Amino acid sequence: MIKALFSFLLLTFLSQFSFGQEKSFSYGTNNAEALKYYEKGWEHILDKGEWQKAEFAFRKAVDLDPDFYLGWSQVGRISHDPEERAAIFTNLNKQKDKLNGWEKGLLEVYLTSLEIIDAKDRGIAITPEKVKQFYQTSEKNFSEFLKNFPAEKYVHAEYIEVIHGIYGAKAALESLQKQQREGLVLIPFLISYQAQLLAESKQFELAYQSAKTLEKRLNIPDLPIIPFTYGYIAFEKGEYEAAGRLIDKTLSLDPKHVIAQRLQKKILDQLKRHAK
């Protein structure tokens, strides 16, 4: 009952969006080149699955504007150096009270995310309270931001991930399908994510259709997001050997693809379990 009510409220909320030429957001930098590289970083990591290129772009953004705090938050989230992450987190915590409005709201989400990423990489247990805090903060801050800046597609992509994390695949899938009916053209990441949600919902034929749509849209077979999407579907289908080959291919194209690394561990666990 609660999830059904939420789905109705979510669809009502999302129906307020129009997907035309809405106002854009500067993310706290007045440097046009820095903003360009920041957005390019999101394109690489989400739409193409290119984590190494994304890291280069985010680092370029803060090189161009050292006071670009949201840019630094993405460097921290993508960094594989625990000491660097800690230094970035400490500095951003000191600076956050200088910020106002939407920039501060987004940074609040990214700082909590940075804490969780760091804990995962260090093998530290993440408390349910910390996860709950992250999801509550993300849902509130992202939804309020998107009411004012509905064209900010990469914030929207992360918001859908949050909806999935809180309410499950069905609610996230319904929101995407509703927006498509209203004329939203999905960015490549959301096509891939739709395929993943369909696979979780055991709608495998539709999941493969979404994956093929993604492949056709990008028209570059060596982008990591393509084998990753097929690998995710194969994993959900229980085809662990096929999933393993596809995720191995993903990591051969981009060894820093963290989500693929995590899925690879799950696949290996399943293969070991079935070998017993």
Q: What percent of the chain has pLDDT over 90?
A: 74
The domain boundary residue, chosen from 82, 116, 149: 149
Based on the fold, state whether residues 135 and 221 are members of the same structural domain.
no
Based on the fold, state whether residues 134 and 202 are members of the same structural domain.
no
Q: What pLDDT is attached to residue 29?
A: 95
Find the CATH number of the domain harbouring 119. 1.25.40
Q: What pLDDT is attached to residue 122?
A: 78
Based on the fold, state whether residues 200 and 95 are members of the same structural domain.
no
How many angstroms separate the CA atoms of 74 and 139, rounded?
Answer: 19
Name residue 86's amino acid. A
DSSP string for 98-119:
G--HHHHHHHHHHHHHHHHHHH
Alpha-carbon separation of residue 253 from 51, 146, 257, 267 (angstroms): 10, 33, 9, 18
Q: Which residue has the tokens 């997907």?
A: 19
Examine residue 113 and state whether it is found in any structural domain, yes or no. yes
Based on the fold, state whether residues 68 and 111 are members of the same structural domain.
yes
The count of domains in the chain is: 2
Q: What pLDDT is attached to residue 126?
A: 84
Q: Which domain holds residue 68?
A: 28-149
The domain boundary residue, chosen from 120, 149, 178: 149
Range 176-186 average pLDDT = 80
Degrees, nearest 5: CA angle 88-187-189: 55
Range 93-113 average pLDDT = 91
Examine residue 209 and state whether it is found in any structural domain, yes or no. yes
Q: Tell whether pTM > 0.85.
A: yes
pLDDT band at 19 (very low <50, low <70, confident <90, very high): very low
pLDDT band at 184 (very low <50, low <70, confident <90, very high): confident
Q: Which tokens sit at 65? A: 């504007």
Q: What pLDDT is attached to residue 83?
A: 92
Examine residue 239 and state whether it is found in any structural domain, yes or no. yes
Q: What pLDDT is attached to residue 258?
A: 93
Based on the fold, state whether residues 172 and 269 are members of the same structural domain.
yes
Based on the fold, state whether residues 113 and 180 are members of the same structural domain.
no
Find the CATH number of the domain harbouring 269. 1.25.40.10
**Which of 46-50, 151-155, 182-186 is the most confident on average?**
46-50
Based on the fold, state whether residues 36 and 124 are members of the same structural domain.
yes
The domain boundary residue, chosen from 122, 149, 176: 149
Q: What pLDDT is attached to residue 15?
A: 44
pLDDT band at 22 (very low <50, low <70, confident <90, very high): low
Of 76, 73, 147, residue with least CA distance to 103: 73
